[in-house]
Amino acid sequence: MNPIPVILIFDIGKTNKKLFLFNEGYQVVHEIAAQFAETLDEDGFACEDIDALSNWITSSIVTVKQNKAFDIKQIHYSAYGASFVFIDDQLKALAPFYNYLKPFKASTQEQFELSYGKMEQMSLVTASPFLGNLNSGLQLYRMKLEHPEKFKKIKWALHLPQYVHFLITGNLASDITSIGCHTMLWNFAKNNYHDWVIQEGLDKILPPIAAEVGLHDSSSALIPYLSSFEEPFVLISTGTWCISLNPFNDSVLTTNELNQDTLCFLSYTKKHVKASRLFSGKEHEQGVLALNKHFNAAANYYTQVNYDANIPLEGDFNTNELSEYKDFETAYHHLVSALVKKQIISTNIIIANTKVNRIFVDGGFSNNEIFMNLLAKAYSQYEVFAAAIPQASALGAALAVHHQWNTKPIPNNLISLQYYSTKN
């Protein structure tokens, strides 16, 4: 029996680490998954165990290559991209691999602003709201300022997708989807590193930018949509964060947009993608907990609540005034309605003045018929779809190198869509 031609994808999330084999029809034919206990950095802050992750990556690829059922044609990588792995002159990873949630010292921010001006202006030029260590460029600045002896040991700094690429191939490279995503490293107008990066000498530890060396997972998850649809669209990717993505909006980021948690990042084809963010998943979770307590409901009772177009939805939702609602169903409709109202404001920022005619929603809220019906009603001038893509970021990483390994055309059924009519 002939081995199946496949692409091997490492998809490294903050919690779940996965290896996938996709066949030429982009079906998953093999999967390995792992989770690792976090370790601590020198300040006792939890962080990824880079040694455990590295060992798993190298051992997993050995295991898969020994499986004669598959013919691995190509390897690619998707990973969360907001932290750097530091490499020493022996080409070994330097622990710790700092957590991007680690607090950023106010004194370090003050020193940066003394040297390079106010964060507001820096944010505009780099299309990056100030997010502390979530701006990976500031991780490098922090290391140089706060830990100069450690910084001297750094020969190279690699975002996580490119570190995986380095582990597998031995090649050092940077990638535009990680460099160009809220890092404060990239001057979007000049299409190059910002002057501060060069003045600090940080460009010397960033390897040359190359293609097909791994992708930031946010950019990767957008690729199946770009591969499937030519007409302009917006994708609302929902989870703990709800992120509206418009790959057809290349307008310059404004101060007003920045203040509303909007940024730009670069796609794998170096195109600008405007994105706005909401913390709606967390807000939904907290709202449901309050409803469960007030109405003495089971933890997942909300999943059984059907959309009712006859429930009036005037007024604001407040978890401190739940006695106003006659039952759980009514209160839950008001909670979701409040989230949809915020979603419309957030999504409108990146739709404005573009030719978008479709809105796709994927992730958790795409399965919530109340959310989807209310969104469709609010956006009656657009076609609104709930979209489902299994393993979107891994699939995107495979599609990005399609021409390198796949002899067949890209299938036209990669995304399952459910249309939401505005008549309800």
The predicted-structure confidence for 240-284, as pLDDT tens digits, reads as follows 889 999 999 988 899 999 999 999 999 999 999 999 999 999 999
Interval 128-150 mean pLDDT: 96
Report whether 47 contacts 96 (CB < 8 A).
Answer: yes
pLDDT exceeds cutoff 80 at 179: yes
Residues 179 and 260 in one domain: no
Instruction: Report DSSP letters for 71-136, one per residue.
Output: EEEEEEEEE--SSEEEE-TTS-EESPB--TTS---HHHHHHHHHHH--HHHHHHHHT----GGGSH
* Percentage of the chain modeled with pLDDT above 70: 100
| Stretch 57-63: mean pLDDT | 97
Q: Same structural domain for residues 195 and 234? A: no
Q: How many domains does the chain have?
A: 2
Residues 37-64 have a mean pLDDT of 96
Question: What token pair was written down for 259?
Answer: 């203040």
Identify the helix (H) or strand (E) that includes residue 4.
strand 4-12
Q: Work out the average pLDDT over 142-157.
A: 97
Q: Which residues contact 401 (CB under 8 A, 6 or more apart)?
A: 7, 74, 76, 212
Residue 186: strand, helix, or coil: strand
Q: Name 9's bridge partners.
A: 20, 76
pLDDT top residue among 107 and 251: 107
138 and 241 belong to one structural domain:
no
Residues 160 and 264 in one domain: no
pLDDT value at position 110? 97
Q: 69, 23 in Cβ contact below 8 A?
A: no
Report the candidate in 140, 136, 125, 116 with the shortest Cα–Cα distance to residue 179. 136
Provide the CATH number for the domain around residue 259. 3.30.420.40
In the three-class reduction of DSSP (H, G, I as helix; E, B as strand; rest coil), residue 218 is classed as helix
Task: Based on the fold, state whether residues 68 and 102 are members of the same structural domain.
Answer: yes
pLDDT, mean of residues 66-80:
97
Mean pLDDT along residues 301-325: 94
Beta-carbon contacts of residue 384 (< 8 Å; ≥ 6 apart): 358, 359, 361, 372, 375, 376, 419, 420, 422
Q: Are residues 272 and 207 in the same domain?
A: no
Question: Tens digit of pLDDT for each residue in 180-192?
Answer: 999 999 999 999 9
| Stretch 282-294: mean pLDDT | 96
In this predicted structure, what is the pLDDT of residue 241?
A: 85
Clarify whether residues 80 and 200 are in a common domain. yes
CA 13/CA 189 separation, integer angstroms: 31
3-state secondary structure of 50: helix
Residues 108 and 250 in one domain: no
Tell me, yes or no, whether 244 and 143 share the same domain: no
- Domain with 191, as residue range(s), is 4-213
- Domain-terminating residue out of 213, 245, 270: 213
AA letter at 11: D
- Asked if 277 contacts 241 with a C-beta cutoff of 8 angstroms, the reply is yes
Asked if 356 and 385 sit in the same domain, the reply is yes
The last residue of a domain, from among 196, 213, 230: 213
Average pLDDT of the segment spanning 290-300: 97
Predicted local confidence at residue 250, as pLDDT? 87
Overall average pLDDT of the 328-352 stretch: 97
With a pLDDT cut of 90, the percent of the chain lying above it is 93
Mean pLDDT of 128-138: 94
328-351 vs 369-378: helix crossing angle, rounded to 10 = 50
Handedness of CA 334, 338, 343, 348 (dihedral sign): positive
**Predicted confidence band of residue 423 (pLDDT cuts 50, 70, 90):** low
How far, in Å, CA of 303 to CA of 55, rounded? 40
Give pLDDT, residue 95.
Answer: 86
Q: Is 157 in the same domain as 21?
A: yes
**Banded pLDDT at 62 (limits 50, 70, 90):** very high
The per-residue pLDDT of the chain, averaged, comes to 95
Torsion angle of the four alpha carbons 212, 218, 223, 226, in this order, in degrees rounded to the nearest 10: -130
With beta carbons less than 8 A apart as the criterion, state whether 104 and 132 touch.
yes
pLDDT greater than 90 at residue 90: yes
pLDDT recorded at residue 81: 84
Domain final residue, candidates 187, 213, 239:
213
Q: What is the pLDDT of residue 115?
A: 97
Rounded Cα gap, residues 263 and 277, in angstroms: 9
Copy the structure tokens of residue 163: 């570190």
Q: Are residues 100 and 82 in contact, defined by beta-carbon separation less than 8 angstroms?
A: yes
Query: How large is the average pLDDT for residues 10-21?
Result: 94
For 244-281, the DSSP string reads EEETT--PPPPHHHHHTTEEEEE-TTS-EEEEEEE-HH
Identity (one letter) of the amino acid at 209?
I
Q: 157 with 238, same domain? A: no
Question: For tokens 């007024």, what's the residue?
Answer: 315
Write down the pLDDT at residue 424.
53
Section 356-380 average pLDDT: 96
